[in-house]
């Protein structure tokens, strides 16, 4: 069986008694995966990350990192984890190298070599003596990543590391994550509110909304699910005629309202066939909308619909 680096069992957490902020969350992060934790603003991504790191009290359910719970082992476990939550806290009046030296004092056995190495990994060697207040946002983010990498972590947890970066900065971070994963076998847990980002970078995905996990699987399965069993809403000038044509294609349809029918298809590839057939029969098509369960969610997770 696949080894899980992060596993939670029925994790529940509330900041206040009025609502549940994390509800029955069962995370499964396989070893050496890049796991994308996807969800809109306020979904519970940062809260989950805080729970994984043992930074919030009074949760119910279990959190296991490397198969172990924090009881008795917290320091040992956290020594194998590097984390970057929201924006890194850096000293602007100090240089990159000085920031790394300070951060290394909080950890066990970090050698001078390792500081140089991490600067190299995040490609900041040429700016090592520059004051951080002169850094761009992307550079600050990479320095934060270097701090997270100091302890040579087996698990890297990154909370929206590309937030606020320009396209070039986003690509750099994406490449870095992939390199760390392929060269050192680092398991990466990365949160994002952008589906496209997760699809490009990750091997696995968990989608969270209102504190609940809605989907968790390999990214390839997510891609397949998006194009399977789709419900289409089609607006035409003739419902009854359209339904007869749909029936001939062995598809089922129902009338929703005037000039609007719903058709169930198995694959996206069916859409052009259906359009061709309707047009051949002189049916006018005014609009086609894909309506499946996850669709609304996916829509809220694309670039054009930042919420
Ligand atoms: N310190 C806090 N006290 C009270 N409620 C909080 C606190 N932090 C977060 N919340 C609430 O918990 C829920 C989850 O928030 P969280 O910050 O985990 O979401 P998120 O997915 O990280 O969102 P974002 O994409 O904006 O970073 C939200 O309803 C939020 O308002
Ligand atoms: Mg957050």
Confirm or reject: Cβ of 45 under 6 Å from ligand 1.
yes
Alpha helices in the chain (DSSP H): 45-52, 74-78, 96-105, 112-121, 137-149, 167-184, 195-201, 219-226, 239-248, 270-280, 295-300
Question: Using CA positions, which residue lies closest to atom 2 of ligand 1?
Answer: 15
**Confidence band, pLDDT 50/70/90 cuts, at residue 306:** very low
For residue 91, how many other CB atoms are within 10 A of its CB? 13
Confirm or reject: Cβ of 15 under 6 Å from ligand 1.
yes
Question: Using CA positions, which residue lies closest to atom 4 of ligand 1?
Answer: 15
Confirm or reject: Cβ of 46 under 6 Å from ligand 1.
yes
Q: Is the pLDDT of residue 229 over 80?
A: no
Ligand closest to the CA atom of residue 17 = 1
Residue 104 CA to ligand 2 centre (angstroms): 25
**pLDDT value for 81:** 95
Confirm or reject: Cβ of 44 under 6 Å from ligand 1.
yes
The rounded distance, in Å, linking the Cα atoms of 171 and 300 is 22
Residue 134 CA to ligand 1 centre (angstroms): 30
In this structure, of 14-28, 218-232, 263-277, the range with the lowest mean pLDDT score is 218-232
Return the H-helix or E-strand segment holding 253: strand 253-257
What is the per-residue pLDDT across 26-79, written as a single tens digit (0 to 9) for each? Answer: 999 999 999 999 998 899 999 999 999 999 988 899 999 999 998 878 888 998
Residue ranges of the chain assigned to CATH 3.30.70.120: 228-300
Predicted TM-score (pTM) of this structure:
0.81
Longest dimension (CA), the chain: 76
**Confidence band, pLDDT 50/70/90 cuts, at residue 170:** confident
For residue 54, how many other CB atoms are within 10 A of its CB? 15
The per-residue pLDDT of the chain, averaged, comes to 89
Ligand closest to the CA atom of residue 50 = 1
What is the per-residue pLDDT across 128-156, written as a single tens digit (0 to 9) for each? Answer: 999 999 998 889 989 999 999 999 999 99
* Residues around ligand 2, an ion, CB closer than 5 A: 45-46
Residue ranges of the chain assigned to CATH 3.40.50.300: 4-224
What is the fold, at CATH topology level, of the domain defined by 228-300?
A: Alpha-Beta Plaits (3.30.70)
297: Cβ contacts below 8 Å, ≥ 6 apart:
207, 209, 214
Confirm or reject: Cβ of 23 under 6 Å from ligand 1.
no
Q: Is the pLDDT of residue 304 over 60?
A: no
Residue 39 CA to ligand 2 centre (angstroms): 9
**Confidence band, pLDDT 50/70/90 cuts, at residue 11:** very high
Cα of first residue to Cα of last residue in the chain, in angstroms, is 38
Atom of ligand 1 nearest to the CA of 44: 18
The architecture of the domain spanning 4-224 is 3-Layer(aba) Sandwich (3.40)
């Amino acid at each position: 069986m696949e080894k899980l680096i992060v596993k939670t069992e029925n994790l529940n957490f509330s900041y206040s008694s009025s609502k549940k902020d994390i509800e029955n969350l069962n995370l499964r992060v396989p070893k050496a995966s890049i796991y994308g934790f996807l969800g809109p603003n306020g979904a519970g991504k940062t809260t989950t990350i805080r729970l994984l790191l043992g930074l919030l009290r009074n949760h119910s359910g279990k959190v296991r990192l490397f198969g172990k719970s924090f009881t008795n082992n917290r320091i040992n476990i956290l020594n194998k984890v590097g984390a970057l939550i929201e924006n890194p806290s850096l000293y602007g009046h100090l240089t990159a190298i000085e920031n790394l030296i300070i951060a290394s004092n909080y950890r066990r056995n970090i050698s001078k070599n390792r500081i140089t190495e991490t600067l190299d990994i995040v490609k900041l060697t040429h700016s090592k003596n520059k004051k951080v207040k002169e850094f761009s946002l992307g550079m600050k983010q990479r320095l934060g990543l270097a701090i997270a990498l100091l302890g040579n972590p087996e698990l890297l947890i990154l909370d929206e590391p590309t937030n606020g970066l320009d396209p070039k900065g986003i690509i750099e971070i994406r490449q870095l994550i992939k390199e760390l994963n392929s060269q050192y076998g680092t398991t990466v847990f990365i949160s994002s509110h952008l589906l496209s980002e997760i699809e490009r970078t990750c091997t696995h995905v968990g989608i969270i909304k209102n504190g609940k996990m809605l989907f968790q699987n390999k990214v390839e399965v997510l891609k397949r699910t998006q194009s399977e069993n789709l419900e289409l809403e089609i607006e035409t000038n003739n419902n009854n005629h359209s339904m007869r044509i749909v029936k001939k294609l062995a598809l089922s349809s129902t009338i929703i309202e005037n000039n609007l029918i719903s058709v169930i298809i198995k694959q996206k590839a069916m859409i052009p066939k259906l359009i061709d057939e309707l047009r051949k029969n002189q049916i006018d098509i005014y609009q086609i909308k894909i309506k499946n369960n996850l669709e609304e969610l996916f829509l809220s997770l694309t670039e054009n619909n930042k919420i």
